[in-house]
Structure 1
Amino acid sequence: MKFTVDQIATIIQGAVEGDGTQTITGFDKIEEGKSGSISFLSNPKYEAYLYDTDATAVIVASDLVLKSPVKSTLIRVKEPYVAFTILLQKYQEMTAERETGISIHAIIEAGVKVGQSIFVGRFTFIDSHVSIGNSTSIHSHVSIGKNVHIGDNCIIYPGVVIYKDTIIGNNVVIHSNAVIGSDGFGHAPQSDGTYKAIPQLGNVVIEDDVSIGANSTVDRATMGSTYIRKGVKLDNLVQIAHNVDVGAHTAIASQTGISGSTKIGEYCLIAGQVGIAGHLTIAPKTIITGRTGITKSIKEAGQTLGGYPAMNNAEFLKRSALIRRLPELFEQIKNIK
């Protein structure tokens, strides 16, 4: 990487404050910034580092008022985090060395249709009647079942398993060891106390621009489809059960589990270790804080929820504060008695 500050400002549509001719050769966190690097300031918690960092340039908000002089050249933008993300993406695009071709060690069954400029790595297995779009990369040790459709510009990382009949759109990224289309957890209790497996006859549909983290699982539907809608982002270690419908542009953090047949609205933010019961509906733009338990449907859009069972997050924080005072309050009650 070798760009001037002015060139970077043009890419992210920012205004330079300082010497725009300086050369940038790398990226650093603001607290670790050194000469030649560029960083960004988005979270106010890190503002103190702005006045000490040795980074050559820092991307900051347009309306940031400096409390003291800075050594770095500033690039002022409306949203620093977004601008820095755009910069990283541009750099990745420019430096990526994309492989093409099909390894002689891959196994591809009859009836597979492949697009142009695809890549298939070593020891990958692709079953019959699969279709793969243009410029899609499928890395080593991937297993793809029958009748799977994968769109254009997808990246399937090593160790991914995609069961039969799965439909994957364009620009989808699936990270290592994710499992797509495994059986949903359907077992009918019998009179003798045993369980009988319920056949899972549906599939999984993943729409465009989805990212699925490592070791996550998306179960196939019992009937119909499990849906991961356009633009959804799943972290590592996320469990999506059968017949769940995750709305467009929803983001779900690690170790969250969503039970069967629940519908998640669009633009929701679900933090880590959240548990959501089955057959519920979550309204659009709901924010669910970490370790929250959802036991009933959320009908009002735009709420922030916390606790177990889930409640308004402000109320949950108040209750948590009171719980911490319980020993003190108990002693006061004993003294009154």
Structure 2
Amino acid sequence: MRASRLLSLLLLLQTRGRMTATELSAELEVSIRTVYRDVEALSAAGVPVYADRGPAGGYQLLDGYRTRLNGLTAEEASSLFLAGLPGPAAELGLAEVAANAELKLLAALPPEPRSHASRMRERFLLDVPGWYRGADDVPHLAEVSEAVWDRRPLRMTYRRWGQQVVERLVHPYGLVLKGGSWYMVAAPPGGSPRTYRVSRVLTAETAPGRFDRPEGFELAEFWKAYADEFRQRMYTAEAVIRLAPGREDLLAYTMGAEVVAAALAEGGEPDAEGRRTLTVPIESITHARWLLLRMGADVEVLGPPELRVLMAEAVAALGKMYG
């Protein structure tokens, strides 16, 4: 256990440079006293680690020192090859770079981790877009990613929902790939971060100068909060339905697994026919009609009344059409 922690400490100093004892203790999840002892152990083993005193001080390695140890287990090395998505890498213009990095990583691994990683690459493939939709067309992804990487302001024309075209100057903080679609997290100068779908960027060019990312901004944390808020804003009403026995999977496919799981957890026991009465969130009455019609007689809408009327009208129209 301690050997693994010492290696982690060494790699932290190698990759991040100077770090304080407080920062190291937080990363390693140990006490500051343990960090002091571990640093002494590394020094005794011949690792050139030294401390700078003062407010801006901390531990760091002697300039130019690097260890050849990577500390990867077979499973850790294998997992890295699952992260190498060829499609997104190609869209970012990094396909050749990613391939070369993969070859270099394989060459640097000991035999056992190399064997695991090779099998992982041969037997597992990550395909991001869904079945019934292709990936977005993102002709300006390269310009956007360059602005993100170099902290350059980005001037763009953007097609909003409803087809309105607007001009924006933004500071791009990061890119997110979600379900085959690229999203840029950016903020107008002095404004708050928001999201832009990169496929809706019509023109893009970097502007002079550089911007500073907000202190404490974390892309993953922002995206999680945004996704949670988006789901809450998406559902504006509720529908009450009776679900036929054994059709939970079909309802989950139609309305989303998380939605159905929550509805089932709060729903009552099946009635005499085996049907369960569930309350599910919906985006709108018309959207719910479109979704629930796909389930045919496996779902009966009990409310709200206007949705039940729309369902009845649609069923009557279908009956008239098919005689």
TM > 0.5: no
Larger helix proportion of the pair: 2
* TM-score after normalising by structure 1: 0.24
Structure whose alpha-carbon radius of gyration is higher: 2
Larger strand proportion of the pair: 1
* TM-score after normalising by structure 2: 0.25
Q: Highest relative contact order (Cα 8 Å, sep 6+), 1 or 2?
A: 2
